Structure 1
Amino acid sequence: MRISNPTYSATRWARRHVGEYHTGLYMITSICGLIDAVCFLALGGAFAEMMTGNLLLLALTVGTGTHFSNMDHYLTAIVAFTFGALLGGYIVNAARQSGRYQRVGYVVEWFALVCACVLALTTGPRPDSWSGIALVSMLAFSMGIQNAIVRSYGIQDLATNVMTMTYTAIFADSHFVKGNNPRWQRRVGSVLLFFTSAVIGALLLHFGVAVPLILATTIFTLALYPLLFGRRHDEAPAPKH
């Protein structure tokens, strides 16, 4: 009777999955909740990557004529995200037209996250301080880059942040309504990762603004290998020479 070695099996599993692009996407899904927890709870109530939330809050502020003190936070996040999306789109389109590497934008995003982490560690940002506004800008900028890249080079049903359509698909395509619910594991995994990371981010804020950002940056650093070099399931193997 052959007895399997759990350590060997785990090692084989890790080697097989660490080289896959979708592993990196799952990892950066887990940083989105961390980052939004920081921005919303500690830096003035804005979101770094959920522009629906920022636009809604901005519209409610304008419509009610109240809480104008928060308007600069919403506008900062929206503008910074816009510039990040523009840069991310430029990188993707330029790479596509020239035939060069399309995922290099992840390196730019990583650098923005590192800068945000350093700023949080050195300044102790508050919502009404220049460092708080700058931190929201850096985080929203990095999320804009990420969304632009994932939009062009993502994987179906693996959402890294905007969960509304993914959450809807879990139930709208479920077997209870005679659907076949394709790739339900990706959908459920994305939602659970996002939710769990937001919970962890909120808890870590008790130890300071920088702590959840350090965790997010660490996760993203580990995700760089599969993001940059990982193979997608829908890509054909490279030809052998």
Structure 2
Amino acid sequence: MAERLPVADRWAVPALLFLTFSTGLVDAFCYLRLGRAFVGNMTGNVLLLGFSVAPGSGLSVAGPLTAMAAFAAGSLLGGRIGLAAGPDGLGGRRAGVAFAGEALVFAALAALVGAGLLATTGVPRSVLIAVLALCLGAQTSVVRLMGARDVTTTVITQSLAGFAAGSALGRGAEASQMRKAASVVTMLAGAAAGALLLRLTSAGVVGLAAVLVGCAAGCFLPAPPPAAAGRAAVPRQ
């Protein structure tokens, strides 16, 4: 099976890792500041909903349900972006524009939180969860349409399983294995950085995520259209 990316690996892989790190940051912000909800890790939300049925768990279902609904809407939006790309597939510029839009939304939310105009409690909390989950749903869908399977930016379970399975007896392709390992480590680093940075600033966590997503967009925007780039297939295990 082959991976088909709209730009060369030397641009695509760092960009996808920027997105992965930003997901760790944003999920740290949401889970630790907005009340036990994930906006990128939908598996976590499903588990939280299951845990909430236990008497005395203290877990709210509102946050996870809001995140899941918004993530699904964002995924639908990302799918529409893919359909609009036509038969040639999702090019680097179109992906770059999608990520640039996400970065602008993150930056706006960071500014509103930093200025005290958007609280992290009550109704504003639900708004933050919904908007962030919408963005990450769209991001996940766009990355999936790009054909990036080794660095999926929000789904680490598959990367970890693929790394472990591919590593058995040294059977995995080295480049593919390195990308999968980097994906797991990057998500971990992003979550840790977010948790630590939250001790100083909430807005700064979302702001840093905006910068990283903007860097990812910058890696894709200058790319030529898919037809011109040739979009050579990259073999993978």
TM-score, L = length of structure 1: 0.80
Counterparts of 1:177-216 in structure 2 under 5 Å?
A: 177=169, 179-182=171-174, 183-216=176-209
Q: Distance in 1 between matches of 2:79 and 2:154?
A: 17
Work out whether 1:110 is the aligned partner of 2:103.
Answer: yes
In the other structure, the counterpart of 1:76 is: 66
In the other structure, the counterpart of 1:138 is: 131
Q: Distance in 2 between matches of 1:184 and 1:19?
A: 16
In the other structure, the counterpart of 1:89 is: 79
Work out whether 1:162 is the aligned partner of 2:155.
Answer: yes
Q: Which 10-residue stretch deviates more, 25-34 or 113-122?
A: 113-122
Gap change, CA 1:227 and 1:98, over 3 Å in 2: closer
In the other structure, the counterpart of 1:235 is: 231
Q: Which amino acid aligns with 1:180?
A: G
Quote how far apart the aligned CAs of 1:124 are.
6.9
Q: Is the 8 A contact 1:20 1:230 kept in 2?
A: no
Which of 99, 113, 129 aligns to 1:120? It is 113
Q: Is the 8 A contact 2:103 2:214 kept in 1?
A: yes
Q: Which amino acid aligns with 2:148?
A: I
Quote how far apart the aligned CAs of 1:123 are.
2.4
Quote how far apart the aligned CAs of 1:173 are.
1.4
Aligned length: 219
Work out whether 1:152 is the aligned partner of 2:145.
Answer: yes
Q: Distance in 2 between matches of 1:162 and 1:107?
A: 21
In the other structure, the counterpart of 2:165 is: 172
Deviations 1:16-64, CA, capped at 9 Å, x for gaps: x897222211211110110010001111010011111111211222x32
Gap change, CA 1:207 and 1:90, over 3 Å in 2: same
Q: Is the 8 A contact 1:83 1:144 kept in 2?
A: yes
Q: Which amino acid aligns with 1:119?
A: L
Quote how far apart the aligned CAs of 1:181 are.
4.1
Q: What RMSD over aligned residues (CA atoms) do the two structures have, in Å?
A: 2.8
Quote how far apart the aligned CAs of 1:111 are.
2.7
Identity of aligned residues (%): 30
Which of 28, 41, 44 aligns to 1:53? It is 44
SS of the equivalent of 2:219 reads: helix
Gap change, CA 1:32 and 1:234, over 3 Å in 2: farther
Work out whether 1:35 is the aligned partner of 2:7.
Answer: no
SS of the equivalent of 1:64 reads: coil
TM-score, L = length of structure 2: 0.81
Between structure 1 and structure 2, the one with the greater Rg is 1
Structure 1 spans left out of the alignment, 5+ residues? 1-16, 237-241
Gap change, CA 1:55 and 1:234, over 3 Å in 2: farther
Q: Distance in 2 between matches of 1:69 and 1:57?
A: 7
Which one has more relative contact order, counting CA pairs under 8 Å at least 6 apart? 2
Q: Which 10-residue stretch deviates more, 137-146 or 69-78?
A: 69-78
Which of 207, 213, 217 aligns to 1:220? It is 213
Q: Is the 8 A contact 2:99 2:214 kept in 1?
A: no
SS of the equivalent of 2:60 reads: helix
